[in-house]
Amino acid sequence: MPETRPSQAKSEYDVAIVGSGAGGGQMAYTLTLAGLKCVLLEAGRAYHPDTETAMFQRRDQAPLMGVSTPDKDFGFHDATVDGGWDVPNEPYTQASKKDEEQFWWWRARMLGGRTNHWGRISLRNGPYDFKPHARDGLGFDWPLDYETVEPYYTKVERLIGVYGTNEGLENTPDSPDGVLLPAPKGRAAELLAQKHAKKVGVPIIPIHRAVLTKALDAETIPAKLHPGNQRAQKIVAASMRARAACFWATDCGRGCNIRANYQSTTVHLPPALATGNLDIIPDAHAREILMGRDDKATGVLFIDKTTGREERVKAKAVVIAASSGETVRILLNSRSNRSPNGLANSSGLVGKYIMDTVGADVRGHIPALENLPPHNEDGAGGSHFYAPWWLYQQQLAGKLDFARGYHIEMGGTRRMPGGGLPVAADLVRGAYGTRLKEDARRYYGASFGLACRGEMIPNEHSFAELDPNVKDKWGIPVVRWHWRWSDQELNMATHAVKTFTSIIEAMGGHVTHNAKMTGQDAIMNGGKIIHEVGGALMGADSRKSVCNEWNRTWDVKNLFLNDGSPFPSNADKNPTLTIMALAWRTADHIIAEARKGNL
């Protein structure tokens, strides 16, 4: 993938984009196909999925059998080639020493960001999710509604390719006919769970994931995405033809050099580069947004990590899409006499109301899944089924002790074993030789796990600020995290554990892990689900928000935030699809303003 060094950058661009993941990649794609000249700054190194993806290695071919190491938290084969919970030379700090108030911050320092690593679950926010305060009086409403965002959800799904089904469930939006790709069949454990979860009232359906189960229709989709733009249609059609359908080989988390799943590096950036309108500068650690005397952004000051030198790019508009924590860091470090508390912070809300997803899990043993005949269940690299939140009406009637919902992800499969012990150790304890082999065959695939992914209501105790003392390698103040779950989330985690226990027992199994956990013991640390959003909320009032409905900051008219930072709420739906939909919508707004000469 072509790279530009700072010395090769143009004297000025139409738009400078900080971050190359879902928001930044989508922004670069839409703007460049419309003819705007863009520069994309990535804090990590360049990454080439066509040559760096170890799709066909077994674990025994990897160092240490591919297990987690300090520099590869999710194992050797994870696509995050640089980054993780700890990034060398770029620390972050915690405001509290209490274990339950720690925030775990995952950062991917590589081209494409977290889109190389993510689970590719692509769920639309529903109508309730855009107006949660109107429904229960908690948190904040968005300054836009589902109907406004819906066309952009459809565009993104058509571009990246999302499989799934339309089920017509409450606040679980369907896609227009013909948009979703065919859903893969459920695995044995998922089918068994679907059958027996009905006994406890839980609907289990095919999940929506950004994986191609068949080739995209390159003959018709580009015209729907870019009507009237023949050059864009030709470029996008060629990019779609370069993507192959998944053949269920290896984990999506390894990355995909046949482009079957969505990554910014394989879907957004190649067509953007093909326009000739995009320059990508890797190893560009953004320090601050540069401002002119007219209170408009003029570009970005960054550190070239390869030389340690300060560099600048100049642009008519700036987009920050660096992830919520990074965006907060950049805005707060962009201090001046005019903005002593950080840029775009006249409301005092930059860094406030950070949210993550509620996580809790339970695992059990299912005797009905023992001794299954050997068969291939690798599948699409993640769950094929899930359960959307199903208790909206009971919640509305006040029958639950928490206000929002969670969806259920699940895992139970006879996928290719990793090389280590493929079953729970307590099931084969004391076995040796032939008996060990027999027990391994008997129990392999009989373990089943359920995981909560729930909505967090924003609270004033969860926020990010600059540490007054600690700086990174380049002398830039780092982020200090404050974190606290409320009773809403703790009660949700308790409910999830009880529900999962009921499902496992309905399947004829018994719980082996986390059966009796409740509240603080059951819930995972903030940040562990890697869904942090908020910190620069959008709203209808400049005194109570950082951005307007176009993701444009109130204080700086040509500065846009297009990651999860403007989210006023964090629905139980994974945020990536909504980040892309809003980025496409914002890009269309920028294009319209550019044509009017307003950049």
514-551 confidence digits (pLDDT tens): 777 889 999 999 999 999 999 999 999 999 999 999 99
Q: How many whole angstroms separate alpha carbon 75 and alpha carbon 132?
A: 38
* Mean pLDDT value across residues 309-332: 98
Cα–Cα distances in angstroms (integers) from residue 234 to residues 229, 274, 448, 542, in the given order: 9, 10, 46, 41
* pLDDT given for residue 545 in this prediction: 98
321-344 confidence digits (pLDDT tens): 999 999 999 999 999 989 999 999
C-beta separation of 40 from 20 below 8 A:
yes
Q: How many whole angstroms separate alpha carbon 271 and alpha carbon 218?
A: 13
* Mean pLDDT value across residues 72-76: 87
* pLDDT given for residue 99 in this prediction: 96
How far is the first Cα of the chain from the last one, in angstroms, to the nearest whole number? Answer: 29
* pLDDT given for residue 177 in this prediction: 97
* pLDDT given for residue 552 in this prediction: 98
Residues composing the chain: 599
* Mean pLDDT value across residues 151-155: 98
Q: How many whole angstroms separate alpha carbon 113 and alpha carbon 22?
A: 8
Q: Count the neighbouring beta carbons within 10 Å of the beta carbon of residue 471.
A: 12
351: left (phi over 0), alpha (psi -120 to 50) or beta: left
**List of residues 6+ apart from 400 with CB closer than 8 A:** 391, 394, 491, 495
pTM of the model: 0.97
Higher pLDDT, 484 or 518: 484
According to DSSP, residue 268 is labeled I
C-beta separation of 273 from 236 below 8 A:
no
399-422 confidence digits (pLDDT tens): 999 999 999 999 987 877 766 677
The H-or-E segment that residue 480 falls in is strand 477-482
* Mean pLDDT value across residues 253-281: 96
Q: Say if residue 390's pLDDT is above 70.
A: yes
Q: How many whole angstroms separate alpha carbon 278 and alpha carbon 24?
A: 12
Main-chain phi, psi angles of 471, to 5 degrees: -130, 160
Distance of CA 400 to the CA centre of its chain: 28
264: left (phi over 0), alpha (psi -120 to 50) or beta: alpha
Distance of CA 166 to the CA centre of its chain: 22
* pLDDT given for residue 59 in this prediction: 79
Q: How many whole angstroms separate alpha carbon 490 and alpha carbon 154?
A: 34
Q: Are strands 297-304 and 309-320 parallel, antiparallel or unpaired?
A: antiparallel
- In 3D space, the residue among 421, 360, 439, 381 whose CA is nearest the CA of residue 187 turns out to be 381
* pLDDT given for residue 416 in this prediction: 72
Residues facing 466 on adjacent strands = 479
C-beta separation of 9 from 33 below 8 A:
no
431-449 confidence digits (pLDDT tens): 889 988 888 889 999 999 9
Cα–Cα distances in angstroms (integers) from residue 576 to residues 38, 157, 456, in the given order: 22, 12, 16
pLDDT tier at 345, thresholds 50, 70, 90: very high
* pLDDT given for residue 415 in this prediction: 76
Q: How many whole angstroms separate alpha carbon 423 and alpha carbon 369?
A: 13
62: burial class by Cβ within 10 Å (0-12, 13-18, 19+)?
A: middle
232: burial class by Cβ within 10 Å (0-12, 13-18, 19+)?
A: buried
* pLDDT given for residue 592 in this prediction: 97
Q: How many whole angstroms separate alpha carbon 75 and alpha carbon 63?
A: 10
Region 1-164+216-356+458-484+532-599: CATH code: 3.50.50.60
Q: How many whole angstroms separate alpha carbon 49 and alpha carbon 257?
A: 5
